[in-house]
Structure 1
Amino acid sequence: VQPTCGMATKPPLPLPLPLPLMLMLMLMLAAAAEAALSGATEAFGSTTTAAVARDVEALLKPAISFSLDEDDTSEGNGESAVPAAWEAVAQRMLQYRQLECHETSVDVLSDMLDAAEANDRLAMAALGVNFLLGQECAPKRNLTWGVHWIRRAANEGQPDAQAMLAFLHDSDALRLVYNYTAESFEREQALPLYEAAAAAGSLYAQMALGHKHANGLGGFSESCPAAAAYYEQAAAQAVAAMDPERKKTVEHSNTLDAEHMTVLARRMTDPERMDARQIEYMDYCAHVGDPAGKVAMAHLYHAGLHGVPRDVEAAEYWLGSAAAKGDPSAHANLGIVRMRKKQYSKAVKSLRRAAKFNDASGWAGLGYSYLYGAGLPQSDTLATRALWKAATMGHLDAIYNLGVLALAGRGADLQPDPKMAFRFWSVAAEFSHPQAQLLVGRMALRGLGGVRKDCRTAAFFLKHAMDNGPTPKSLLRTALRAHEARRPQRAAMHFMLAGHAGLEVGLHNAGFVLSEHIARQPGVYGKRARQAALRYLQEAAIVGSIDAQVMLATLLAETPGNDVLAMQLYTEAAQAGSKDAMWHMGYHYAKGRGVRADMSRAFELWVASNMRSKHARLHGLDALAFGVMRFVYEARVAFVMLAIGALVLTTGDPVAALQRSLRGTQQVPEWVGEDGEDDFADDDDDNDD
Structure 2
Amino acid sequence: MALKTRLASMVSRDARLKHAITLIESGEDAVQGFALLGQLATQGSVEAQYRTGKAYLEGWGTPPSLEDGTRWMRKAAEAGHVQARLMLGTLYLMGFPEGFDENRPAILTDNRPLKRVPDFHQAAHWSRLAAEAGQPDAQALLGYVLTNGPEGVQDRAEARDWYEKASAAGSAQGHLGLGMALHSSPQSPEDLARGTERLEKAAEAGLATAFYFLAWINEQGIGQAPDLGAAARYFEKAAERGIVQAQTRFALYLMQGKGVARRLDRAETWLRRAAMGGDAEAAALLGDLHVRGEDMAPNYLEAATWYQIAAELGHGAAARGLGLLYLTGTGVQPDPDEAAKWFRISAECGDRIADADLGNLALTGVGSEQDRAAMQQRFLRAAENGDLVGAFNLGVCYAEGVGTERDDTRAAYWMQRAADGVVNAQYWLGRMYLEGRGVPEDHARAVEWLEKASQARMAEAMTLLAQICVSGRAPGGNDHPRALALYIQAGEQGAVEAMFSAGAMLGGGHDVQADRREAQRWFRLAAERGHGLGQLMLGRYLKRGLAGEVNPVEARVWLERAQAQGVTEATAELAKLERRLGGRG
Smaller-chain TM-score bracket: 0.3 to 0.5
Per the normalisation by structure 2, the TM-score is 0.33
